[in-house]
Structure 1
């Protein structure tokens, strides 16, 4: 790894940490960067999961005010995310690497679409908060479990999915939902990253650089991320996501 590659990876981690806290889908920044630098898709995914985990934790801590009084709910939701994440990592490790490389462009494409429609999701969620209160129930727990599987297999855009599902089934202010989203994303990344650290191909220099950048990005995202232009953030995610799809297909 050259010095400029290290700088690029660290900056990608910083940007991803900020995006994950504010919008979600930071993996759509770091994953294409690692692919462009020559890392295999599986190694890029596992290194991402481990390296971005500290950033999701710092982002969740930054939302601690919004999480006040939600301890019991977080324990139940977190358990669903944990079990789902384990299932997703098992899929990644058990399925042939060729299968993963074939499905990744589809997953990246899905994530890009979710990022594009995210503003409509946010408006829909906001409008629903003004309506009759709703309770998540078993359906929401099942959906959180499914997102955990997806996140354990490929982390991009799990935050957008969580916001959409919780917005449909819960009556809470958006910022409280965003706080819950950050905690659940942290659970998935930590669980998946811990498993990958022991049994999957990982680039530890990449992990270290992403971790350092994502922690700072998580703090910045929680403090000043709301002031950043969502259009700019989303535009960057879409551009790098499309670039990743092209590179994966042509590879």
Structure 2
């Protein structure tokens, strides 16, 4: 968004990722999304990518890497909290399956995502997201 706006205006890229207001917006947004993710979690990663894409000038690959670390921390804190307050409610077979899938997806996604160009990565995310949305809206 920032790159397109600067290109349209014919000016240099704004130093958004280095300004104090941008850092404050980013930190406040990450705090709010961390609370949201700890409670609900759905689409937290997409929201973080959106926030960071607007507030920073980082590449999509770097934003995705930071998003993965942030959501891992949020999910880890939520998991430990849940274990402390509701141990007896945890289905450990399902937990193990989710942990294995997330680990394999993270390792595979990191290898593939770093090799893709930003445009191919954006198109891939858009296509997968659209397929998921259509499936949820019309086939569930």
TM-score, reference length from structure 2: 0.72
2:129 equivalent in structure 1: 234
Deviation of 1:243 after TM superposition, in Å, equals 6.5
Give the Cα separation in 2 of the matches to 1:129 and 1:173: 16
Which of 14, 17, 33 matches 1:132?
14
Give CA-to-partner distance per residue, 1:165-201, whole Å, 9 cap, x none.
Answer: 2222222222222221111111111111111122233
1:185 equivalent in structure 2: 71
Give the Cα separation in 2 of the matches to 1:133 and 1:215: 35
Please provide the CA RMSD for this pair. 2.6
1:209 equivalent in structure 2: 97
Bigger relative contact order, structure 1 or 2 (CA pairs below 8 A, ≥6 apart)? 1
Give the Cα separation in 2 of the matches to 1:239 and 1:193: 30
Partner of 1:224, secondary structure, is: helix
Equivalences for residues 115-130 of structure 1 within 5 A:
124=1, 127=4
Give the Cα separation in 2 of the matches to 1:231 and 1:170: 20
Partner of 2:42, secondary structure, is: coil
Partner of 2:100, secondary structure, is: helix
Equivalences for residues 1-251 of structure 1 within 5 A:
124=1, 127=4, 131-134=13-16, 135=19, 136-200=22-86, 201-225=89-113, 226=116, 229-242=124-137
Give the Cα separation in 2 of the matches to 1:125 and 1:193: 36
Give the Cα separation in 1 of the matches to 2:50 and 2:108: 24
Deviation of 1:129 after TM superposition, in Å, equals 8.4
Give the number of the structure whose alpha-carbon radius of gyration is greater. 2
Give the Cα separation in 1 of the matches to 2:39 and 2:6: 31
Deviation of 1:139 after TM superposition, in Å, equals 2.2
Count the aligned residue pairs: 122
Higher mean alpha-carbon deviation, 196-205 vs 211-220, is at 196-205
Ranges in structure 2 where 5+ consecutive residues have no aligned partner: 8-12
